[in-house]
């Protein structure tokens, strides 16, 4: 191996990389890097040699992930802001360029359903909040990064979709992510000529042991009071965790939808994100890669 002894003795951020350094000298922005899939992606990119801009809405989360990467010898920067806002997205790109000199990869993890309930129980305010978080963040981030990548005549964007597009209890979030898929597929055809690739990873239920920020962080909108039988059914569907199912139960969502019969680990999603962001995917653009334990994905 060409790696120096000091690199070999650094803490391992993601053993799955198996020694790969596909992002050596690359600059990666991970939007929503504070926990879960975003944090796992930041660790994988860092493990493979990238300089990583850790962006999150929560300052403490961003700092914690940056510190983990720093300790492993990764060049890092942090950015704290609300990436549903265009001006924050533009500031993120300007800051990254200033700190690292370029932007090779944008991984858009920010997003995720805030509530889970049948559509009729969503209030109009809740629906708007879901779309703001899960559609507008990728829209503004892609739009903000384009001038940099077009100027470079190179770049790779990975957006996140979700198996929720063919599932239940998250209609507004599903609709937002359907929009993200179309954003990616149509944008990819426009920017192929500039050497920019745009792809989507579509996860199914993923364990985030490190979730510390609640789904409704920063929102003042109240949750809906659901009838008891809805609450029960939902708990059966999602299993153990935040929606109150039996502890350690994978839930009907996995039993009914996932042939592998288990949830994903965040590092499994990060591995797919890293693949699409890397030169290993140099002939892949405008595609949706389902990381779903075998469940059928409709796009």
Residue 172 beta carbon to another protein: minimum distance, rounded to whole angstroms: 26
The two tokens of residue 127 are: 């629906």
List residues bridging with 150 in a β-sheet: none
Please measure the distance between the N-terminal and C-terminal CA atoms of the chain and give it in whole angstroms: 40
The residues near 190 (Cβ < 8 Å, ≥ 6 apart) are none
Indicate the residue among 121 and 297 with the shorter CB distance to another protein.
297
Q: What single DSSP character describes residue 51?
A: E
The two tokens of residue 204 are: 């199914």
Residue 47 beta carbon to another protein: minimum distance, rounded to whole angstroms: 11
The active-site residue out of 121, 173, 217, 237 is 173
Indicate the residue among 81 and 286 with the shorter CB distance to another protein.
286
Crossing angle (nearest 10°) for helices 86-100 and 137-152? 40
Indicate the residue among 135 and 191 with the shorter CB distance to another protein.
191
19 close to 1: Cβ distance less than 8 angstroms = yes
Active site residue 148: no
Residue 99 beta carbon to another protein: minimum distance, rounded to whole angstroms: 24
Report the helix count and the strand count for the chain, using DSSP H and E: 10, 9
Residue 271 beta carbon to another protein: minimum distance, rounded to whole angstroms: 4
Residue 282 beta carbon to another protein: minimum distance, rounded to whole angstroms: 5
Indicate the residue among 51 and 285 with the shorter CB distance to another protein.
285
Residue bearing tokens 């609300």: 82
In this structure, the number of other CB atoms found within 10 A of the CB of residue 233 comes to: 16
Which residues of the shown chain bind another protein in the complex (CB under 8 A)? 1-3, 16-22, 24, 48, 185, 188-189, 192-193, 197, 204, 259-261, 264-265, 268-269, 271-272, 274-275, 279-287, 289-297
Residue 192 beta carbon to another protein: minimum distance, rounded to whole angstroms: 4
- From 114, 175, 103, select the one nearest 146 (Cα to Cα): 103
- In angstroms, the CA 40 to CA 12 distance is 12
CA angle 200, 201, 202 (to 5 degrees): 110
198 close to 285: Cβ distance less than 8 angstroms = yes
- In angstroms, the CA 210 to CA 176 distance is 25
Bridge pairing between strands 105-108 and 155-160:
parallel
Indicate the residue among 18 and 228 with the shorter CB distance to another protein.
18
Indicate the residue among 66 and 198 with the shorter CB distance to another protein.
198
Catalytic site residues? 173
């Amino acid at each position: 191996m060409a790696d120096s002894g000091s690199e070999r003795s650094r803490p391992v951020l993601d053993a799955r990389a198996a020694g790969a350094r596909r992002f050596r000298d690359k600059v990666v922005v991970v939007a929503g890097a504070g926990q879960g899939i975003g944090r796992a992606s930041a660790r994988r990119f860092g493990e493979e040699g990238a300089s990583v801009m850790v962006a999150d809405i929560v300052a403490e989360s961003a700092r914690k992930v940056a510190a983990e990467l720093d300790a492993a010898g990764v060049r890092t920067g942090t950015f704290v802001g609300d990436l549903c806002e265009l001006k924050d997205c533009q500031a993120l790109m300007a800051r990254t360029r200033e700190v690292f000199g370029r932007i090779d990869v944008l991984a858009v993890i920010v997003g995720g359903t805030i509530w889970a309930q049948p559509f009729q129980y969503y209030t109009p305010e809740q629906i708007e909040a879901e779309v703001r978080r899960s559609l507008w963040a990728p829209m503004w981030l892609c739009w903000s990064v384009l001038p940099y990548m077009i100027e470079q005549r190179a770049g790779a964007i990975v957006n996140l979709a979700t198996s929720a597009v063919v599932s239940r209890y998250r209609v507004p979030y599903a609709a937002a992510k359907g929009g993200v898929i179309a954003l990616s597929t149509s944008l990819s055809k426009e920017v192929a000529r500039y050497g920019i690739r745009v792809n989507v990873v579509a996860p199914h239920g993923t364990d985030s042991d490190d979730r510390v920020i609640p789904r409704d962080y920063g929102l003042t909108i109240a949750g809906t009071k659901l009838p008891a039988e809805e609450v029960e059914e939902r708990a059966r569907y999602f299993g153990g965790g935040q929606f109150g199912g039996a502890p350690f139960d994978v839930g009907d969502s996995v039993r009914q939808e996932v042939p592998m019969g288990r949830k994903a680990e965040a590092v499994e999603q990060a591995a797919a994100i890293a693949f699409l962001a890397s030169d290993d995917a140099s002939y892949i653009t405008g595609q949706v890669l389902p990381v779903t334990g075998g469940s059928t994905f409709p796009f």
